[in-house]
Structure 1
Amino acid sequence: MFSKSWFFFLFVLCILFSLVVESRVINETRFKPMEEMKKMRRVRAHLKKINKPSVKTIQSPDGDLIDCVATHLQPAFDHPKLRGQKPLEPPSERPKGHNSTDEIYETIQLWAQSNELCPEGTIPIRRTTEKDVLRASSLRRFGRKIRRVRRDTSSGGHEHAVAFVNGDQYYGAKASMNVWTPAVTDAYEFSLSQLWVISGSFGNDLNTIEAGWQVSPELYGDGYPRFFTYWTTDAYRATGCYNLLCSGFVQTNNRIAIGAAISPRSSYNGKQFDIGVMIWKDPKHGHWWLQFGSGVLIGYWPSFLFSHLQKQASMIQFGGEVVNSRSKGYHTSTQMGSGHFADEGFGKAAYFRNLQVVDWDNSLLPLTNLHLLADHSNCYNIKAGKNNAWGNYIYYGGPGRNAGCQ
């Protein structure tokens, strides 16, 4: 039999235990809001850094806000080597063999369909919101590709179907690619089609310049294909970012918003819509310029951002990339390109046409010694060809998970 004193001792012990638990719960509930407050302060400080004061804001049909920011106030000029400067004038000449030096403006972005544009002396920048940042797994990850890279393409869940040339010195590349709306089935995956200008080893010193279109629910909050750019000088470890989300790319154009949705898009067995992209190194100043659409200059990556690409590129790639997170334990159903294999051809598969490179003499040349690489050809594949109308071309893409891709 227990004595009364023993029961009293147990009673007191229970009270003390409940007080300790209650105190811990109170402390945790206090701690969580404090952590949330700190996180939101960091997010808002970051937004203040990248969202510059605008002279005008345009509402896009897809919900984006496009801020018209004075060119000298854009994020690029936060860089110590650019602070206090203004954008350079466009290069006096483009690569030899380029069809035209005229800038032909087409309405190829949703925000510009109202014909309300940013005034001269400003550039359009897609406004970044708190929701945009909070969708990322961390503030460090926001606006960046984070992955490990190996020699052929990459690891860490990134899969490719690409055509590439290497073994020479390259000073740029050009191609036209059709635009689709591939399904992305996981919030942290993306699907893109782009060209890569590459130099350095596939290790910590990899330099890349990239441009094309992508669907990225994490970055943009929707499934629209969007015109994008990227760069890195250390294999995606600490440098570089998408679009204008860090100091780097200098935009000079007031009519194209990097990161804004592209419209129209291609349809299966229907009309095909493609965009032209050219990246080349200006022989005079050494910076890497970007051209989009029908001859429209967008801006440039200053050469000082890079190590190896201060001189030239050693590889050019064209094609598609997806993230396969295997979040459900099997291969993703995220589509590449149209979501159909290369074998289906025109009107059904995604393509790149008129693939060219820029040589040491600033001339556009057709490709020689073209290589094809598909990380998992049962999931996404690629085929190449050549004819008089399209020059060098590729079909690529696929559905992801299927009977042959598990």
Structure 2
Amino acid sequence: MSSQSTTILIFACTMMILLSMFVVESSVRINETRLTRVRLHLNKINKPFVKTIQSPDGDVIDCVVSHLQPAFDHPKLRGQRPLEAPVERPKGHNSSDERVETIQLWAESKEFCPKGTIPIRRTTENDVLRASSLRRFGRKRKIRGVRHDTMSGGHEHAVAFVNGDKYYGAKASMNVWTPEVTDASEFSLSQLWVISGSFGNDLNTIEAGWQVSPELYGDGYPRFFTYWTTDAYQTTGCYNLLCSGFVQTNNRIAIGAAISPRSSYNGKQFDIGVMIWKDPKHGHWWLQFGSGVLIGYWPSFLFTHLQKEASMVQFGGEVVNSRSRGYHTNTQMGSGHFADEGFGKAAYFRNLQVVDWDNSLLPLTNLHLLADHPNCYDIKAGKNNVWGDYIYYGGPGRNAGCQ
């Protein structure tokens, strides 16, 4: 090899080394910058606490003074304190129709947060770093075509819904499962939706139920969760207490914490009761969990259309089908079994009701069923004297009929 060729080769190698060092250094700087932003965000949402409780699943529950929770970072709430519980619950509410066995893992020791504080699941660096971006942390993916059509951005549903009237709340009991979620960016949930607005960018929703979301929580446990948005999941709202919005008043339930026990196939069934309703006096939307336990409220000013009433109520399941391997996900909905299998095998909602203008709980009329992809996840409805209106729903995802 000539000396000139050797010189060129050495120069090329040197440039490659320098370029590699530059790329590594740039990557380190980017990672350090992101980590700095993540830590600043954690300082904002993880509030000072008076006590911590270690959960068996690895969660840390912080007991935060109630008026220092994230909701009170909102300009319209700053300096205020949580409201007292509404005196009137919806007429026709009967706590005896809900089971009380279901608890949360963190509370198995019977250790709770002191009065005047609320339990908040501590958010970790890993929780935030799993998100696609800091801006999207704690939020659902944007949903195209929110009217649950086939262009819904990977979101698939099996739901029962009512519309065509004015609704002031909804109530149901749903059994809790541990569906398999096969991709870290996917989730499987069961919830009720209180909805208003068109299905464009002005969509308002309030949502509550249980979900399995490895991206949000880092594991496969079913967890009690809430969500809200006032612009179709674009920039407003979040899960649980991950932004200013929902005001928690309860010191014994941690939103976002794992539910235990869960239902088993052909075995014992465990369900949770959820009720969302609009307080006629102040106009805020309150959340009740289990047998009459008030969790807190969404202030009415968070919303546009929901400042008045809801135009639709939905009950059922939702999954994200990312098709990350080029075919339909194996992520399960509900129990992972189809509706036809019935009690003990399929997931259910029972005692479906809505709240009317007179703050009364009523059975459903004009119930509609919708399954985006019935070969993947389906739904069926029924009615009897014990369960009132009910649905079975769910499915295994990918199978011979679901590709």
Quickly name the TM-score band, shorter chain normalised. over 0.9
Name the residue aligned to 1:300.
297
C-alpha distance in structure 2 between counterparts of 1:338 and 1:107, whole Å = 17
C-alpha distance in structure 1 between counterparts of 2:55 and 2:146, whole Å = 40
User: C-alpha displacement at 1:215, in angstroms?
Assistant: 0.5
1:213-362 correspondence runs (5 A): 213-362=210-359
Name the residue aligned to 2:66.
71
1:189-234 Cα offsets, whole Å, 9 max, x none, are: 1100000000011110000000000001111111110000000000
User: Tell me, what secondary structure is at the counterpart of 1:119?
Assistant: coil
User: Tell me, what secondary structure is at the counterpart of 1:284?
Assistant: coil
C-alpha distance in structure 2 between counterparts of 1:275 and 1:8, whole Å = 79
1:113-155 Cα offsets, whole Å, 9 max, x none, are: 1011100000000000111111112112211101223253250
User: Tell me, what secondary structure is at the counterpart of 1:185?
Assistant: coil
C-alpha distance in structure 1 between counterparts of 2:386 and 2:101, whole Å = 22
Over the matched positions of the two proteins, sequence identity in percent amounts to 81
C-alpha distance in structure 2 between counterparts of 1:85 and 1:153, whole Å = 38
Aligned-residue Cα RMSD (Å) equals 1.5
Name the residue aligned to 1:54.
49
C-alpha distance in structure 1 between counterparts of 2:13 and 2:267, whole Å = 69
Aligned counterpart for 2:21 among listed residues 15, 20, 26: 26
Q: Is the 8 A contact 1:207 1:307 kept in 2?
A: yes
C-alpha distance in structure 1 between counterparts of 2:32 and 2:147, whole Å = 43
The letter of the residue matching 1:198 is: I
C-alpha distance in structure 2 between counterparts of 1:55 and 1:384, whole Å = 47
Aligned counterpart for 2:143 among listed residues 138, 141, 148: 148
Q: Is the 8 A contact 1:173 1:280 kept in 2?
A: yes
Report the TM-score, using the length of structure 2 for normalisation: 0.97
Name the residue aligned to 2:84.
89
| Structure 1 pair 349–130 and aligned structure 2 pair: CA distance change class (3 A) | same
C-alpha distance in structure 1 between counterparts of 2:95 and 2:159, whole Å = 28
The letter of the residue matching 1:10 is: S
C-alpha distance in structure 2 between counterparts of 1:138 and 1:329, whole Å = 24
C-alpha distance in structure 1 between counterparts of 2:345 and 2:388, whole Å = 20
| Structure 1 pair 55–105 and aligned structure 2 pair: CA distance change class (3 A) | farther
The letter of the residue matching 1:131 is: N
Name the residue aligned to 1:120.
115
C-alpha distance in structure 2 between counterparts of 1:262 and 1:218, whole Å = 17
The letter of the residue matching 1:279 is: I
Name the residue aligned to 2:198.
201
C-alpha distance in structure 2 between counterparts of 1:64 and 1:222, whole Å = 11
C-alpha distance in structure 2 between counterparts of 1:276 and 1:204, whole Å = 30
User: C-alpha displacement at 1:25, in angstroms?
Assistant: 1.7
C-alpha distance in structure 2 between counterparts of 1:146 and 1:281, whole Å = 27
Q: Is the 8 A contact 1:161 1:321 kept in 2?
A: yes
Bigger-Rg structure (1/2): 1
C-alpha distance in structure 2 between counterparts of 1:298 and 1:149, whole Å = 31
Name the residue aligned to 2:164.
167
| Structure 1 pair 111–298 and aligned structure 2 pair: CA distance change class (3 A) | same
Structure 2: where are the runs of 5+ without partners?
Answer: none
Paired residue total: 400
User: Tell me, what secondary structure is at the counterpart of 2:282?
Assistant: coil
1:299-328 Cα offsets, whole Å, 9 max, x none, are: 000000000000000000000000111111
User: C-alpha displacement at 1:9, in angstroms?
Assistant: 3.7
Structure 1: where are the runs of 5+ without partners?
Answer: none
Name the residue aligned to 2:10.
15
C-alpha distance in structure 2 between counterparts of 1:14 and 1:340, whole Å = 63
C-alpha distance in structure 2 between counterparts of 1:343 and 1:220, whole Å = 31
Name the residue aligned to 2:180.
183
The letter of the residue matching 2:248 is: Q
C-alpha distance in structure 1 between counterparts of 2:95 and 2:233, whole Å = 35
